[in-house]
Structure 1
Amino acid sequence: MQSLLDVNKSSPRASDGVWPMQRSALLDWLMIETREQRFIDNILVEMCEKLEAAGIPVARASLHFRIQHPQWRGARLLWRKGLTETEIRTFEYGSEQTAEYLNSPINDIVSGANEVRQRLEVIDANAPKYQLYDQLRAEGLTDYVAWPLDHTLGKRHVVTFSTDRRGGFDDEHIAALSDLMPALALVSEIRLKNRFARTLLETYVGPHASEQILAGATTRGSGVTVGAAILICDLRDFTGISDAWPRDNVIELLNGYFDAMSEPIEKYGGEILKFMGDGLLAIFPLSNATACTDLLHAISEAQLAMTALNAEHVREGRKPLGYGIGVHVGDVMYGNIGSRKRLDFTVIGPAVNIASRLETLTKQVHRPVLLSKAFVDLAGVECELENLGSHLLRGLDEPIDVFAFSGDCLNVGQIPA
């Protein structure tokens, strides 16, 4: 089957009126029919398939985005002919200073170039010696072009196309691909900003709360009552540390402490709702049948991580960090509270207050982790706990039974990752 835009003289060319019809159909698809597609990587795959069907010999295409993410500086989406999905690669902060990036066509475009074009079949002594070109030749590709995708507010990203066609792209192929750039820039910006909105919410309120907010829970008082195991954690003597230590050291200490506590919580399905100075509030919804045991496993791994962190502090001549964790279970209101213009998506209720009081009690009984009897009964903890008896917590009329927990009794090292 002949290509619609093949250079063979017997084939129709863009100037013959074939591509204008294909162009109109492809632009209509890109601007209108992709409305229900959330992910730009899926759009890239389908666009390349449609380009192939229209006679544009694309064998490889990539999108390079600078993204706003707490962990990643950028991302690359790569499609190759025959693939039904893109390969997604993320790049850490600082990657833009590496030789791989600085010596690349992508850097040229981001730095202001409006096009980078390189025919790969003939090695041009005057062309830039980019390692990428050698990789493309090794894949059997014959031509490469990169263009900017200019988004609003001066944000510039990059799209590239390569072919394995003998002779590379012809002028009509390049013109056809170039025709799509304004529409692709608009479509990609919408998806990138949608992803950024989700990332922003997930970063600051957590994945579950972010889904609630995106689904419309944005009015004061909106929320639901849920059953949850509640964990409240606090760092000991933070005021003294922050007064005595340089600011950057304090920030580094807090980040290490929060990593030790947070990563196990997220690993076992907990949701961190907020960081409160040197403390955190997390819930494990009881809609998950293993919520209580998941919480205990998270605490156990967090204790191991804190032990490792404290060993490092001791090696550096610092005092080990102390902490307190209070755990309770019960119904909480999960939703928005605050002023008319400034809301906080969190949990409130008596069960949260009890978890907080238990965390405070850790200072008096000198045990780092305290569990309420209500939590212990629901969790069905099989390992032996230290029964500390009944304690009257502030704000409660009746004392509650309290247990001290140590991760050692779970044999946490044997828990599957």
Structure 2
Amino acid sequence: MSSFLNKAGTAVEAGEGVWPVRRRRILDWLVNETRGERFIDNILVEMCEKLLASGVPVARATLHFRMNHPQWIGARILWKEGLAEAKINTFAYGIENTPEFLKSPVNAIHQGAEEVRKQLEDTADDEDSFYQELRDDGLTEYIAWPVEHTFGKRHVATFSTSRPGGFTNGHVDFLRDLLPALTLVSEIRLKNIMARTLLQTYVGPHASEQILSGVTTRGSGATVGAAIMICDLRDFTEISDLWPRDDVIHLLNDYFDAMSDPIERYGGEILKFMGDGLLAIFPLSKDTACHDLLQAIREGQALMAQLNQQYAGNGREPLRYGVGVHVGDVMYGNIGSRRRLDFTVIGPAVNVASRLETLTKEVKRPVLLSRAFVEMADCAKDMDSLGTFPLRGLGEPVDVFAFPER
């Protein structure tokens, strides 16, 4: 059986002379044969399977990524031997300040360590709960290395084994030599994820898919049928003048949470926040769109009632709002200047919803719906008919309905 010297000139165990060829195959696969795979978790699983087939006894591997996300500071992709799919866990902001994270090997890498290597067999008296969990899983050695992306963005890759005695020097060299290729492959996928996440955060899931698919020129888009909802907070100008800035921001976030979460849960898409208002659509391509919109409003009202209870307990006035609902065809696409575009909806149907929202101030009912909407939703019998109203800027008056008063 042959042997070879690693980069440091150290003799590696007999039988490992074939490893440079096997390592080359995995490197070639990472660089040249993963182009068709969008997701880094799938690449991690296949890479670990190839490592096992090459004689590297990996029993557990993870990738830890910092993220640009409104809810999550980071994510961990976890593979264990025998799993066909990796597990993905997300971590909320604040975890970086917990004692568990501060003493973790991942934090040590983020603080500048170039390697964290832990022999688990020889440290049974170690009180660190993380290493004890690895030990309980039958693992014998753990290694963590930085994954350096562009502009110093540092992420983490870890590998563990259950082989008695841990990894050999040959195993470690094999894994370490894969890091540059894994770094390139992971950065591309992570940037794709970040682009998608940022677009979803700022323009919504459907609009983000349109933009990523190439709908990026001014005027590009389509005409779609949609149930339209416009919501606005009452007396916001007065609140802004009287309340401290941070309290105003907190109030807006509370209000948008209450109204927005049900919209997204029922399949609606919030296209924009406009100061203290929002515009959302429920595409009619889904048969239950009108019903879903009504359910979203009802749940939003319930959440607003809970929020106002909390405000009353703090001596604050309840928040009031107006909602206008209509249905019709809208132009859905890019509008704006040559260099700055907004992916939104326009058209007469949007104008009707907007005028109905304004009308809520006059008729003192928080939710107003057009006849066209209630007929499509088949809910006229469940609503109060308020009569016919002329709406500013619109030719024909509109039959208006409201949620029943409780």
Q: Within 5 Å, give how 1:94-243 maps onto structure 2.
A: 94-123=94-123, 130-243=128-241
Kept in 1: contact 2:382–2:404 (CA 8 A)? no
Structure 2 Cα separation of the partners of residues 268 and 10 of structure 1:
59
Q: 1:260 to 1:10 in 2, by over 3 A?
A: closer
Partner of 1:309: 307
Structure 2 Cα separation of the partners of residues 103 and 217 of structure 1:
46
Q: Within 5 Å, give how 1:9-408 maps onto structure 2.
A: 12-13=15-16, 16=17, 18-123=18-123, 130-381=128-379, 383-406=381-404
* 1:133 to partner: Cα distance: 1.2
* 1:320 to partner: Cα distance: 0.2
Kept in 1: contact 2:374–2:380 (CA 8 A)? no
Q: 1:184 to 1:407 in 2, by over 3 A?
A: farther
Classify the secondary structure of the residue corresponding to 2:382. coil
Deviating more after overlay: 32-41 vs 229-238: 32-41
Structure 2 Cα separation of the partners of residues 11 and 289 of structure 1:
67
Name the TM-score, length of structure 2 as normaliser: 0.95
* 1:11 to partner: Cα distance: 5.7
Deviating more after overlay: 355-364 vs 82-91: 82-91
Counterpart AA for 2:327: V
Counterpart AA for 1:246: P
Partner of 2:6: none
Kept in 1: contact 2:223–2:332 (CA 8 A)? yes
Structure 2 Cα separation of the partners of residues 407 and 71 of structure 1:
36
Summarize deviations over 1:140-192 as a string: whole Å, max 9, x none: 11111110000011100001100000111000000000000111111111111
Counterpart AA for 1:302: G
Structure 2 Cα separation of the partners of residues 154 and 193 of structure 1:
14
Kept in 2: contact 1:392–1:398 (CA 8 A)? yes
Runs of 4+ in 1 over 6 A off after TM superposition: none
Classify the secondary structure of the residue corresponding to 2:298. helix
Structure 1 Cα separation of the partners of residues 405 and 99 of structure 2:
45
Structure 1 Cα separation of the partners of residues 159 and 13 of structure 2:
26
Structure 2 Cα separation of the partners of residues 237 and 123 of structure 1:
64
Classify the secondary structure of the residue corresponding to 1:180. helix
Classify the secondary structure of the residue corresponding to 2:255. helix
Summarize deviations over 1:318-348 as a string: whole Å, max 9, x none: 0000100000000000000000000000000
Classify the secondary structure of the residue corresponding to 2:112. coil
Classify the secondary structure of the residue corresponding to 2:401. strand
* 1:32 to partner: Cα distance: 1.2
Structure 1: which 5+ runs fail to align? Answer: 1-8, 409-417
Q: 1:22 to 1:354 in 2, by over 3 A?
A: same
Counterpart AA for 2:383: L
Partner of 1:411: none
Counterpart AA for 2:55: G
* 1:382 to partner: Cα distance: 5.8
Kept in 1: contact 2:143–2:159 (CA 8 A)? yes
Structure 2 Cα separation of the partners of residues 257 and 329 of structure 1:
24
Structure 1 Cα separation of the partners of residues 99 and 392 of structure 2:
60
Structure 2: which 5+ runs fail to align? Answer: 1-11
* 1:384 to partner: Cα distance: 2.5
- Identity among equivalent pairs (%): 68
Counterpart AA for 1:219: T
User: What is the root-mean-square deviation in Å for CA atoms of aligned residues?
Assistant: 1.4
Summarize deviations over 1:181-229 as a string: whole Å, max 9, x none: 1111111111111000000000000000000000000000000000000
* 1:383 to partner: Cα distance: 4.3
